[in-house]
Amino acid sequence: MDYYIGVDAGGTKTTAIAYDSNENKFNEVKKGPGNVSVNWSMALKNIENSIHEVKKDQSKNNLKGISVGIAGLIPSKKEEITSYLEQLFSVPVEVDTDYKLAFDSTFKSGNGILLVAGTGVVLYGCSNNETAKIGGWGHLLGDEGSGYDIVIRTIKQAIEVYEEENRHVSIIEKILTKIDGSTMEDIKLYIYSHEKSDIAQFAPLIIQSAEKGDKFSVTILEDIVTVLHGKLILMKDKLKTDHKIDVSVMGGILSQKSYVLTLLLDRLKEDTRFTFIEPKEPNAAVVKLYKDTLTQQNHADTLAVGLMSGTSLDGIDAVLCRVIGQNEDTEIEVVDFQTYQYSADVLKKVEKVVSGEQLLLSNLSELNVDLGYEYAEAVKNICEKNNISASSLGYVASHGQTVYHDAEVRTNKRRSTMQIGEPSIIAYETGAKVISNFRSKDMAAHGEGAPLVPKSESILYRDGQDNILLNIGGISNLTYLPRSTEEPIFGFDTGPGNMMINEAVSHFYSIDYDNNGDIASIGKLIPSLLDELMSHWFIEKSTPKSTGRDEFGKEYTLVLIEKYKEYKQEDFIYTLTYFTAQSIVKHIKDIIKQGHQVDNLIVGGGGTHNDTLMKAIADLLADTRVKVKTQEDLGFSSDAKEAIAFVILGNQTVNQLPGNVPSVTGAKQEVILGSITYPN
């Protein structure tokens, strides 16, 4: 269930309430004062604690947003409070004054006047986009008509009676009883030594006396109502409207069935300029706020950058996209795609880490920072190339560099994964919000944390046919995307993609990759090596399954090179290439054997540039009805596919929507992926 939290942080208490999408309240927490002008740290702590407490035990529900209405909000502090709460709760937060929150809750049409009379008084109105505010000055500067004003007026007029007639009016006797006093001097000392809210607490006592017929108290309240009515007239004039306008009221002295409210409503019935409407709970404004925001987001485009640096270590893929919508309504337009090479020094550090060599924690920490700067430069470069400011991006979705991924469950050992490339640096350097650490949440939900691309494929590639989406990066992974939305999507890693080929050509020829598969094209198959490779435990492992450099990286490749050193180098390269093709096709044929229809195999990733590999895949599928296509055949970029996928996953995250596919990763449920880092 989606839910929202509205917080009303007033001068005497902070109330946090959870609502479902239909504004039904299902949890409420009250804490101490939330007026940040009176006590900044205490107010923030009360706001924070109220949200924490109302969120408690809601792990199965999806928090969509928080709104906080704060008494005494200083405009210059609004962004600071918003950023603090968004970092703390990882959801969008809207911060405004308490009276604006209350107004939005009651006047969803946008036109009306809200009068809030509690410890203080404030009026906020809007008519035809003309807004105005009266009051909110605090007890030292005004706020006539407030609870505080009721008490002070009562005491002042009681002093006149005391000085003229040498007696206490009955309401003064009641106040003296409350403060354990006996003289007017005791009341004076109390006023001098107590806060505005403490003094205002006697207002209900005066109101109760008036309800019971105490003429002195009635006179005080009639004066107060005259003041409040006058403020409403002044507000209407400020809004420059000649039409009848809706009025709503709330606050301690105007609470339901209050004598002051009765007197005020009698005045309004006689005044044809106003129509009274019942107020709504101020916290409930949060639901409309975020529903409206999500609706606007669904119809507004966002520029975003996706960053992907895969297991093949061939650079940083950066894609600049225009994103519209969410979930299955997501539309992606690729504005630009670039691959930026790692600097030589950083590449050496990455190779050392991913090779499994022992290293100091300081080396890993240093590389995390170095990669953060490299990713930030990639973002700035692609933005500069396209004449946009990086800070104007809706977000950057950074996969990070995987340095460890273990999806196996062993006794006394949990699954774990690590992607580095410090998001705080990317956010600070670019001025953009960064989504990172996508895999960990799926693992927390007992999934393998991979593959994550299938979510994006389910959004982009449903076309009325039964398709397999294959990505050949360092590792190869596929997604089975059935034409029927009733049939589950599934996907998994099939084994190595370019990883072992790249390691071998680097060892033999000191080059990064086999361009177009030219070396492999002159080689011959080594049957014994192929048999050994195909007998690797991962190839026969049941799904879900994911793998990485720890199984098919440099160490494993070098062992095989030593074992088969009597063979020609090009034969070794060809056999690795053929193994990649056969391990992929073996899994595709297994899917067909299980009774699934497959119309198309759509291939993306760097492997599409290896002609020998692509030919081997097509030849091995020749005895099936499967048509082999590339991303380019569909108007997409093979190289950009994974970077685009993380733009889509980032879009899911910022819209608080799931990004994993449990039938693929083995997770127990759909979860929102990633962590959000804000630029300031």
pLDDT in tens, 127-185: 887 889 888 775 455 578 888 888 999 999 999 999 999 999 999 999 999 999 999 99
In a shared domain, residues 393 and 444: yes
The two most distant CA atoms of the chain are separated, in Å, by 120
Contact 7, 47 (CB under 8 A): yes
Contact 576, 482 (CB under 8 A): no
- Looking at residue 255, its pLDDT comes to 76
On the 0-12 / 13-18 / 19+ scale of CB atoms within 10 A, 39 is middle
Q: Could you identify the residue written with the tokens 């007029």?
A: 157
In a shared domain, residues 523 and 651: yes
Query: Is residue 400 one of the residues assigned to a domain?
Result: yes
Pairwise CA distance, residues 565 & 348, whole Å: 26
Please identify, among 290, 316, 334, the residue that sits at the C-terminal boundary of a domain. Answer: 290
| Mean pLDDT, residues 580-608 | 94
What are the CA-CA distances from residue 539 to residues 117, 477, 590 (Å)?
Answer: 72, 12, 12
Q: Assign 162 to helix, strand or coil.
A: helix
Pairwise CA distance, residues 84 & 394, whole Å: 19
Query: Is residue 295 one of the residues assigned to a domain?
Result: no
If you write DSSP's letter for every residue of 368-423 in order, what string do you get?
Answer: HHHHHHHHHHHHHHHHHHTT--GGG-SEEEEEEEEEEEE---BTTB--EEEEES-H
Pairwise CA distance, residues 287 & 293, whole Å: 10
The tokens for 128 are 């035809």
Q: What is the CB neighbour count within 10 angstroms for residue 103?
A: 29
Please identify, among 269, 290, 311, the residue that sits at the C-terminal boundary of a domain. Answer: 290
- Looking at residue 139, its pLDDT comes to 47
In a shared domain, residues 21 and 101: yes
Whether cis (ω within 30° of 0) applies to the bond prior to 488 is no
| Mean pLDDT, residues 207-217 | 91
List the one residue out of 432, 435, 473 whose CA is nearest residue 451. Answer: 473
Q: Which long-range contacts (CB under 8 A, 24 or more apart) does 108-114 make?
A: 108/288, 111/245, 111/246, 112/245, 112/246, 112/247, 112/248, 112/277, 113/232, 113/235, 113/236, 113/239, 113/245, 113/246, 113/247, 113/248, 113/274, 114/247, 114/248, 114/249, 114/250, 114/279
List the one residue out of 240, 235, 398, 440 whose CA is nearest residue 304. Answer: 398
Q: Which of 328-337, 408-417, 571-580 has the highest mean pLDDT?
A: 571-580
- Phi, psi for 191 (deg, rounded to 5): -60, -45
On the 0-12 / 13-18 / 19+ scale of CB atoms within 10 A, 462 is middle
Q: Which of 53-62, 264-273, 353-362, 572-581 has the highest mean pLDDT?
A: 572-581
In a shared domain, residues 316 and 267: no
In a shared domain, residues 434 and 583: yes
Q: Residue 259's Cα: distance from chain center in Å?
A: 46
Q: List the single range of 11-15, 37-41, 225-229, 310-314 with lowest mean pLDDT.
A: 310-314
Pairwise CA distance, residues 102 & 379, whole Å: 41
| Residue burial 586-605, b: 16+ Cβ < 10 Å; e: rest | ebbbebeeeeeebebbbbbb
**pLDDT-derived band of residue 256, with 50, 70 and 90 as boundaries?**
low
pLDDT per residue as tens digits for the range 646-657: 999 999 999 889
Is residue 68 scored above 60 in pLDDT? yes
Query: Is residue 336 one of the residues assigned to a domain?
Result: yes
Query: Is residue 53 one of the residues assigned to a domain?
Result: yes
Pairing relationship of beta strands 93-97 and 62-70 according to DSSP bridges: parallel
Over the chain, what is the mean pLDDT? 89
The tokens for 168 are 């206490």
Q: What is the CB neighbour count within 10 angstroms for residue 542?
A: 6
On the 0-12 / 13-18 / 19+ scale of CB atoms within 10 A, 510 is exposed
In a shared domain, residues 276 and 414: no
Q: Could you identify the residue written with the tokens 């410890």?
A: 119
In a shared domain, residues 80 and 126: no
In a shared domain, residues 61 and 149: no
List the one residue out of 283, 93, 285, 92 whose CA is nearest residue 672. Answer: 92
Q: Residue 622's Cα: distance from chain center in Å?
A: 46
Please identify, among 251, 282, 313, the residue that sits at the C-terminal boundary of a domain. Answer: 282
**pLDDT-derived band of residue 536, with 50, 70 and 90 as boundaries?**
very high
Query: Is residue 602 one of the residues assigned to a domain?
Result: yes
In a shared domain, residues 445 and 316: yes
| Mean pLDDT, residues 650-676 | 92
List the one residue out of 370, 379, 430 whose CA is nearest residue 401. Answer: 370
Spatial CB neighbours of 541, under 8 Å, sequence gap ≥ 6: none
Pairing relationship of beta strands 112-117 and 93-97 according to DSSP bridges: unpaired
Pairwise CA distance, residues 178 & 173, whole Å: 9
- Looking at residue 411, its pLDDT comes to 58
Contact 497, 472 (CB under 8 A): yes
- Looking at residue 299, its pLDDT comes to 53
- Phi, psi for 654 (deg, rounded to 5): -65, -20
pLDDT per residue as tens digits for the range 615-662: 999 999 999 999 999 988 887 788 888 899 999 999 999 988 999 999
Spatial CB neighbours of 42, under 8 Å, sequence gap ≥ 6: 32, 33
Contact 423, 372 (CB under 8 A): yes
Contact 147, 253 (CB under 8 A): yes
List the one residue out of 148, 305, 198 whose CA is nearest residue 647. Answer: 305
In a shared domain, residues 263 and 312: no
Determine which helix (DSSP H) or strand (DSSP E) holds 231, and give its type and residue range. Answer: helix 215-238
**pLDDT-derived band of residue 399, with 50, 70 and 90 as boundaries?**
very high
Is residue 420 scored above 90 in pLDDT? yes
In a shared domain, residues 309 and 276: no
Spatial CB neighbours of 313, under 8 Å, sequence gap ≥ 6: 342, 347, 350, 351, 354, 474, 502
The residue range of the domain holding 149 is 115-282
Contact 13, 32 (CB under 8 A): yes
List the one residue out of 62, 52, 78, 75 whose CA is nearest residue 20. Answer: 62
Pairwise CA distance, residues 591 & 491, whole Å: 10
- State the total domains in the chain: 3
Contact 370, 670 (CB under 8 A): no
The tokens for 170 are 């009955």
Is residue 196 scored above 90 in pLDDT? no
The tokens for 109 are 């049409």
Q: Assign 584 to helix, strand or coil.
A: helix
Tell me which of 75 and 615 has the higher pLDDT. 615
Query: Is residue 559 one of the residues assigned to a domain?
Result: yes
Q: Assign 121 to helix, strand or coil.
A: strand
| Mean pLDDT, residues 557-568 | 96
pLDDT per residue as tens digits for the range 10-20: 877 899 999 88
Is residue 355 scored above 80 in pLDDT? no
Contact 396, 414 (CB under 8 A): no
How far the first Cα of the chain sits from its last, in Å, is 31
State the CATH number of the domain containing residue 20. Answer: 3.30.420.40
List the one residue out of 563, 540, 542, 538 whose CA is nearest residue 550. Answer: 538
Pairwise CA distance, residues 184 & 391, whole Å: 62
In a shared domain, residues 670 and 545: yes
The tokens for 374 are 């490299």
Q: Could you identify the residue written with the tokens 């081997």?
A: 616
Contact 50, 29 (CB under 8 A): yes
Model pTM greater than 0.75?
Answer: no
What are the CA-CA distances from residue 555 to residues 165, 356, 395, 562 (Å)?
Answer: 102, 8, 37, 11
List the one residue out of 443, 459, 460 whose CA is nearest residue 451. Answer: 443
